[in-house]
Amino acid sequence: MNRTELKQEIDQRWPGQAQCPPDSGSPCEVTCARATLPELCGRLFLEWNFSFAGLIVEEGASEWQLRYTFYGEGDAGWVHVLVTAPLAEKTFPSIVKFVHAADWHEREAEDLYGLVFEGHPRLGDFILHDDAWQEGVEPMRHKFDPQMAMAHRKPDEDWRPTRIVQEPGAFVMPVGPKYSGVTESVHFLLESVGEDVIRSTPRLFYKWRAIEKLAEGKTADEVLLLAERFAATTAFAHGLAYCQAVESICGVNLPPRAKTLRVFLAELERLRQHAGAIQEICESTALAVANAHAGICEEELLRISCELTGHRYLFGLLALGGLQCDLSDDACRKALEKSQTVLAKLNELEKRLRVSSSFLDRLEEVGIVPERTAMVYGLLGPIARASGVVRDLRRAQPYLGYENFQFDVPGEQEGDGYARLRILFAETRQSVRIMEQAVAALQSGSVREPFQLRAGAALGWVEAPRGGAFHWVRLDGNGKVARYRIVPPSFANWHGFHLAVEKFAFQDFPIMLSTFDLSVAENDR
Amino acid sequence: MSQWVINGIRTGIKTTAYPAKPEAAVGVSPGLPVGGDCSPSQAASLIESCPAGVFSQANGKVMADIRRCIHCYRCVRGIEHPVNWEQTYEWGTVRDGQHEFGQPFERSIHICVVDAGDCGACLNEAKQLNNPYYNMHRLGFFITPTPRHADVLLVVGPVTDHMKFALKKVYDAMPTPKRVVAVGACALSGGVFAESFVCAKGVADVLPVDVEVPGNPAPPLAILHGLLVATGRKAPAAWARSNTVKA
């Protein structure tokens, strides 16, 4: 559906209720009455094949602005549905009935802004844990001062989470926040009547660092440090999404060399992150030899990154308007050659794993997410693609000139752990393929374009290793960040994680967790 | 099945010789800035370039408090007089210089790792200690999931408010004698996240810290060095005495 068709449809269906501007650049900002909102978003999401990118709440001087962002393939472009209301009116209709992917976004806005979403099935205890925070604290409101003393009370040791399964003999098995060996902090409530997990409720935000609040009032350059460091296993992708948002506000034309180098580094990071994810899967199935081989691959890729850029996780490379320093063609070529060697090892590993029956038994038909569910939950990245939702931002809404690169977007249908593993392996091959083209296409010239910051707002998007990452930035006239909203891929994927776990045995739980390749740091921000 | 064995033999031994010999491979460490002689104007430009407040100036020298370094490279890239940057990795230091680690920690130790709001990098580097390149089991270091079996508590992250309670509980559950190793710039100074309404400025705000390992993230060899310092098997980093300014 292109822009003209969209305008026709909207004008016909909701005359006077929703306005779609004539074709004028991207994104298409549809203003809409509160009552029409759920139906309009529902049509976009369920019928017109748009994906939900995120809900962005902004507190203006006198009114709320809620921005529901959607994207489609190619011509369909970006659609932002805007709803406004005076600050005193804090009630909005929930769109969850039609767009289930927005579930957690509304819970977050309720927790941090105190908005009410009518019709939402479950609000409350989410980012601000009920056992530690007083009611009525709204940390994202302008009137909340992040410097002031903590507004919450002492942890309530008697607090107990909601139990859903009430059958006789049912019990809750709490896991975390500290569990297992070297793991991120997250809490799971696994409800069971014996062997199988019936309900699984991940309790997140133990690591909430309030990045969005910290960013407010900082300079654009300082916020880049936060964008790179809040989820460092995919630091480059998030830094990139932030830079693209700022650059798009200021209308910067990047030098071609900077673009190509950014593509090269983004793919190097994807390759490294996927190798790490493969290692975790091998580890969770207790296949020690494969674990060692995958661990070697990951460490070698970390060393390649460090040799090329000085940092194992690609920190300190991005700058607004390009890159902080140039990388020589020779160094890139050398990094590519080494990456190709690692890829050969990964290919060999995949060949071995595919005939290891003890390994396959633990992955096949385990943690199944059907295509329809993956779509409704708005899952992203390799996880969605393993369930048949084959959408990749590099292809759907290209950035950095990805349209000029030859690559495939691998897809699978089964939606089980094994399909997710195959996607990871297939994507490592595509990443190296893109890196090869990037090195061949390296132009000469500068890597940084000087520019002036100006007021405005824009969305930056990147296909991060774990899926689409969306960064919304609003700059004020002084070059300071007025609003920074991060929608990381793990936020969407954690939302759907319980689908995979339920109705499976306890011992499969760590395996499903590893095949989902979830980052808590990314989700918790 | 046999192919696994053949692949294994073909791969050969990857494990580093450290701590018996220094590790010479490239890419094991991002390095750190070091202080030294410096003109006042150069020192001023370094101090201005750093968003983390690493540098300070005294007696014609610039000093680097590397506990705060977040590896943004703004003191080496795009600056007229870049700072000296050293590719070292033996970064572990004893927090107040007084600890006698002694016998209980000389041999095999079990380590309990707690993520207190980490960005994922320090944690990933700690995970690398189990890969064949570092293989910390050969040194008698083991990761244990339970604090009841742990001798050393390894904490990463600035300690978010929601994790403070859990972190204290883990510490209290450990038998004595016990040691706390704080890893990464965030665990030492709060890094880019602190101090805020949801975040402490480092582990020392919550627990008594014995050994500190700087870096953002601290590379695996630095964490290994920190553990060796905690067990009294390696001397603390030399820069701790000559180069650091007291926070």
Q: Are residues A236 and A114 in the same domain?
A: no
Chain A residue at shortest CA distance from B123:
A182
Chain A residues within an 8 Å CB radius of B192: 225-226, 229
pLDDT at A332 over 80: yes
Is A169 a member of any domain? no
pLDDT at B241 over 50: no
Q: Report the pLDDT averaged over residues B215-224.
A: 92
Q: Which long-range contacts (CB under 8 A, 24 or more apart) does A71-75 make?
A: A71/A393, A71/A396, A71/A397, A71/A461, A72/A1, A72/A48, A72/A396, A73/A49, A73/A391, A73/A395, A73/A396, A74/A396, A74/A397, A75/A1, A75/A2, A75/A3
Q: Report the pLDDT averaged over residues B124-144.
A: 91
Is A140 a member of any domain? no
Chain A residues within an 8 Å CB radius of B130: 182, 295
Strands A18-19 and A63-71: unpaired
Residues 6+ away with beta carbon under 8 Å from B112: A178, B143, B144, B145, B146, B147, B149, B150, B152, B153, B154, B170, B174
Mean pLDDT of chain B: 85
Q: Report the pLDDT averaged over residues A470-480.
A: 91
Q: What is the pLDDT of residue B242?
A: 44
How many domains would you assign to chain A? 2
Domain C-terminal end among A100, A118, A136: A118
Residue owning tokens 């954690």: A494
Is A158 a member of any domain? no
Chain A residues 33-92 with a CB less than 8 Å from chain B = none
Q: Report the pLDDT averaged over residues A116-137.
A: 82
Q: Does B193 sit within 8 Å of A184, measured CB to CB?
A: no
Give how far B14 is from chain A: nearest CA, Å.
8
Q: Are residues A94 and A221 in the same domain?
A: no
CATH number at residue A519: 1.10.645.10
Q: From the candidates A147, A311, A352, A519, which should be mutated to test the interface with B, based on the most B CB atoms within 10 A?
A: A311
Label residue B243 by pLDDT band (50, 70, 90): very low
Q: Are residues A108 and A218 in the same domain?
A: no
Q: What is the pLDDT of residue B244?
A: 44
Q: What is the pLDDT of residues A334-389, one digit of tens each?
A: 999 999 999 999 999 999 999 888 888 888 888 889 999 999 999 999 999 999 99
Top pLDDT among B96 and A430 is at: A430
Q: What is the pLDDT of residues A47-63, one digit of tens each?
A: 888 999 999 999 988 99
Chain B residue at shortest CA distance from A311:
B30
Is A171 a member of any domain? no
Helices of type H across chain B: 2-11, 40-49, 121-128, 161-173, 185-189, 220-230, 239-242
Q: Are residues A393 and A517 in the same domain?
A: yes
Mean pLDDT of chain A: 88
Q: Report the pLDDT averaged over residues A463-489.
A: 92
Q: Which of A149, A289, A303 sits opposite B4 (nearest CB)?
A: A289
Do the beta carbons of residue B199 and residue B190 sit within 8 Å? yes
Chain B residue at shortest CA distance from A139:
B197
Top pLDDT among A115 and A501 is at: A115
Q: Does B219 sit within 8 Å of A222, measured CB to CB?
A: no
Q: Report the pLDDT averaged over residues A494-499.
A: 88
Q: What is the pLDDT of residues B149-165, one digit of tens each?
A: 999 999 999 998 888 88
Chain B residue at shortest CA distance from A280:
B127
Residue ranges making up the domain that contains A105: 3-118
Q: Report the pLDDT averaged over residues A20-44.
A: 83
Domain C-terminal end among A96, A118, A140: A118
Q: Which of A148, A222, A296 sits opposite B197 (nearest CB)?
A: A148
Chain A residues within an 8 Å CB radius of B161: 132, 150, 152, 208
Is A191 a member of any domain? no
Domain C-terminal end among A118, A152, A170: A118
Q: What is the pLDDT of residue B239?
A: 61
Domains of chain B, earliest start first:
32-86 (3.30.70), 93-237 (3.40.50.12280)
Angle of helix A489-501 versus helix A103-113 axis, rounded to 10: 120
Give how far A134 is from chain B: nearest CA, Å.
13
Q: Are residues A217 and A112 in the same domain?
A: no
**Choice among A194-198, A494-498, B176-180 with the minimum mean pLDDT:** A194-198
Residues 6+ away with beta carbon under 8 Å from B172: none
Q: Are residues A306 and A443 in the same domain?
A: yes
Is A177 a member of any domain? no
Give how far B32 is from chain A: nearest CA, Å.
11
Q: What is the pLDDT of residues A272-328, one digit of tens each?
A: 999 999 999 999 988 888 999 999 999 999 999 999 998 999 998 999 988 998 899
Is A189 a member of any domain? no
pLDDT at A22 over 80: no
Is A482 a member of any domain? yes
Q: What is the pLDDT of residue A153?
A: 63
Q: Report the pLDDT averaged over residues B51-58.
A: 83
Q: Are residues A235 and A108 in the same domain?
A: no
CA Rg, chain A, in Å?
Answer: 23
CATH number at residue A100: 3.30.460.80
